[in-house]
Structure 1
Amino acid sequence: MEIKNIIYKAQNSRWVEEEPEIIQSNPFETVAQIPKSLGKGETRTIQIRDGLSIGLINQRPTQSFMYNVKHNDLLELSFLLSGKMEVFIPGTQERCTARSGVSGLVLARPGFTIEVPANRPILIASLLVQPALIYSFVEDNPGLMLEGLINALNGPQDEIYCHEGAITPAIQFAIQQIISCPLQGPLRQIYLESKALELLALRLDQLNSHELNSNRPKPLAHRDIEKIHYAKDLLMDNMENPPSLLELSKQVGLNDFKLKKGFREVMGNTVFGYLREQRMAKAHRLLEEGKMNVTEVLYGVGYNDPSHFCSEFKKRFGRTPSSLIN
């Protein structure tokens, strides 16, 4: 997204438009502070190279607001890591609710509007990609079956394309590396370019798999997909003491077979495989922050056995938990 094209709209007794405070941190990176009347946080845009940029939204709103995002024929890949938002296309009936753990691939000309609820921190990572980069990927990789996306890119200016996918552990780890990049200057730009391309490849592979399997019989009903996301939310809210599979199936209103099958289809992992990966991701983040020791972190993410936690952590990240804080 282009910072200069963002306008916040806050609702008190009436709609009030506010432009963000712009901070130029380096030649390729721009930060916009959320208007103080709406809360705290920022929107960061990092221009990686022609046709590819990263957006990071990390905000704590004190009241509900909307902001308009305008693109010039760009494809947006968004990753909602925490929080909730409503997305709609002005002038159309297109509207959807996005929840944490979900990635959206959106082509909407000339842009769209995001509505963020009050008192709910929100963290979003996004990639903005020019069509030429997608075309080059398809030309260089004949195995890519991105027919739906390519048709949308070649379609009329009012064409709307949207694909929803899960934020897999690999995608989440790549995003975390982008957020916590320790480098500065030109090396930072090189590092972030490699991670942005990795993230783009992972998301296009997800879309490619979806298109290859698009003729599968009996897809999940929309109401069942909602229940799967509810099950995911219950797991995340009770990470320290999660419900059993039978308890979870009763809470969301699906039998355990449909829950297991549907969860793998929607989230790309088994129920407790997903929980394990999210525990590891949270543990990695907490250890990197350096505010808690290893014992506090392992209990905080739901482990009771230190040796089991350390073994799982090393298997996932290739290093011990203590190495992140020593």
Structure 2
Amino acid sequence: MMTIIIPAQAHEELWQGVDQTRQSNDPDDELDITCKCPQALGEGYSRRVELRQNLVLEIESYQRHDNLIIQGIDRPHPLEFWFMLSGQWMESSLWAVNQTEAGQYGFFGSGTAIKGEDEFSQGRQLLVGVHLEPELLQSFIGNSSGELPKALQHLMREPEQPYHFRSNVMTPMMQYNVQRILHCPYQGIIKRTYLEGKVLELLALLLEQEAEIQMGSRTQKPLKSGTLERIVYARDLLLQQMDNPPSIAELARLVKLNEYALKRGFLQVFGKPLFAYLHDYRLEQARQLLETGEMKVSEVAQKIGFASRNYFAAAFRKKFGINPKEYLMQHKHSF
């Protein structure tokens, strides 16, 4: 096994030299491009999907025959995160040593990448990465002046400051969304909408965890292999039968988990207990049904599984700050 050491500019030129092998991964999307890996670096491909201005999704799948060290230079660094499904990466500079390995994510803030070396290990490498410019993050979560919440301000540093980096274990929901990206069943505009939704959900999960870490919250242990799929299946069953949902005992039996594992796992994956999640989902469905103006309040309550119209009205008012009848009339007048 050899180690290839190459300057960053030469590495970039190698990739520019394979431009003629570029092909559209989706004939209906000219911004979805796949490049074949330069032969000198191994086998595989790099896929780049420009989802919108300042938001790019990348999927890199390589079989590296040798270790690769890229000698970098000081350069501006955008906000970036990637999920390493296989392989290993390490960055070393005078400022810090950062690394990620299979099963982990790397979260990079904006700032400057200090001159150093990026090392990728020999063997299989599969990662899903996202690049976004600071102004896009500001538009998502900043206030009217573009200022981020205090717990997240470290993600955007001045151009002359070294960027923030954190590596951590992927949570079950991160793993789930990464797999949905890799196995996206759509093409064209539907594909782009689907992928952007998954990317933004991943960003939300990362920001939530980053804020918790900054505020000193403890992270939970990852779920055992195979449990995530059962938890997601339980959620799907719950929503499919929201007008007459199964009991926790019945749901646990259907997904082949004990009740404790189901309740604990559901809270970990979705951030809420099962029936609190169902309650919020029902009310959101009710809001959407009322917006159509095609159903009475009593019909909406019955459709989403509320036996009592009064209880439904109280729950709706508590969540949205308005009675369902008033909400319905507002939207009827807008047609």
Q: Which amino acid aligns with 1:155?
A: E
Structure 2 residue 42 is the aligned partner of structure 1 residue 97? no
Q: CA separation in 2, counterparts of 1:80 and 1:33?
A: 20
CA contact (8 A) 2:6 2:70 kept: no
1:221-260 equivalences under 5 Å are none
Structure 2 residue 277 is the aligned partner of structure 1 residue 274? no
Q: Which amino acid aligns with 2:100?
A: A
1:169–1:34 distance in 2 versus 1, CA, 3 Å: same
Q: CA separation in 2, counterparts of 1:152 and 1:208?
A: 11
Instruction: Show the counterpart of 2:165.
Output: 162
Instruction: Show the counterpart of 2:85.
Output: 81
CA contact (8 A) 2:152 2:211 kept: no
Instruction: Show the counterpart of 1:138.
Output: 141
Length, aligned pairs only: 223
1:145-185 per-position Cα deviation (integer Å, ceiling 9, x unaligned): 85364245242423321122221110011011111112112
Q: CA separation in 2, counterparts of 1:177 and 1:68?
A: 34
Q: CA separation in 2, counterparts of 1:68 and 1:173?
A: 34
CA contact (8 A) 1:30 1:45 kept: yes
Residue number among 124, 127, 132 corresponding to 1:129 in the alignment: 132
Deviation at 1:128, TM superposition (A): 0.9
Structure 2 alignment gaps of length 5 or more:
232-251, 270-335
Instruction: Show the counterpart of 2:237.
Output: none
Residue number among 34, 37, 46 corresponding to 1:34 in the alignment: 37
Instruction: Show the counterpart of 2:193.
Output: 190
1:5-16 equivalences under 5 Å are 11=3, 15=6
CA contact (8 A) 2:63 2:125 kept: yes
Q: Which amino acid aligns with 1:269?
A: K
TM-score by length of 1: 0.58
Deviation at 1:191, TM superposition (A): 1.2
Q: Which amino acid aligns with 2:164?
A: Y
1:22-56 per-position Cα deviation (integer Å, ceiling 9, x unaligned): 31414212222222233211121111111211111
TM-score by length of 2: 0.56
Instruction: Show the counterpart of 2:50.
Output: 47
Q: CA separation in 2, counterparts of 1:73 and 1:38?
A: 24
Structure 1 alignment gaps of length 5 or more:
1-9, 215-264, 282-306, 318-326
Q: Which amino acid aligns with 2:221?
A: N
1:274–1:133 distance in 2 versus 1, CA, 3 Å: farther
Q: CA separation in 1, counterparts of 2:176 and 2:33?
A: 23
Deviation at 1:138, TM superposition (A): 2.8
Instruction: Show the counterpart of 2:286.
Output: none
1:194-240 per-position Cα deviation (integer Å, ceiling 9, x unaligned): 111111111111111112226xxxxxxxxxxxxxxxxxxxxxxxxxx
Q: CA separation in 1, counterparts of 2:148 and 2:39?
A: 45
Q: CA separation in 2, counterparts of 1:179 and 1:158?
A: 34
Q: Which amino acid aligns with 1:86?
A: M
Q: Which amino acid aligns with 2:131?
A: L
Q: CA separation in 2, counterparts of 1:279 and 1:187?
A: 24
Q: Which amino acid aligns with 1:31?
A: T
Percentage of identical aligned residues:
21
1:104–1:122 distance in 2 versus 1, CA, 3 Å: same
Q: How much is the aligned-residue C-alpha RMSD, in angstroms?
A: 3.6
Structure 2 residue 256 is the aligned partner of structure 1 residue 311? yes
Q: Which amino acid aligns with 2:212?
A: S
The structure whose Rg is larger is 2
Q: CA separation in 2, counterparts of 1:195 and 1:206?
A: 17
CA contact (8 A) 1:67 1:115 kept: yes
CA contact (8 A) 1:145 1:211 kept: no
Instruction: Show the counterpart of 1:299.
Output: none
Instruction: Show the counterpart of 1:204.
Output: 207
Instruction: Show the counterpart of 1:178.
Output: 181
Q: CA separation in 1, counterparts of 2:170 and 2:33?
A: 26
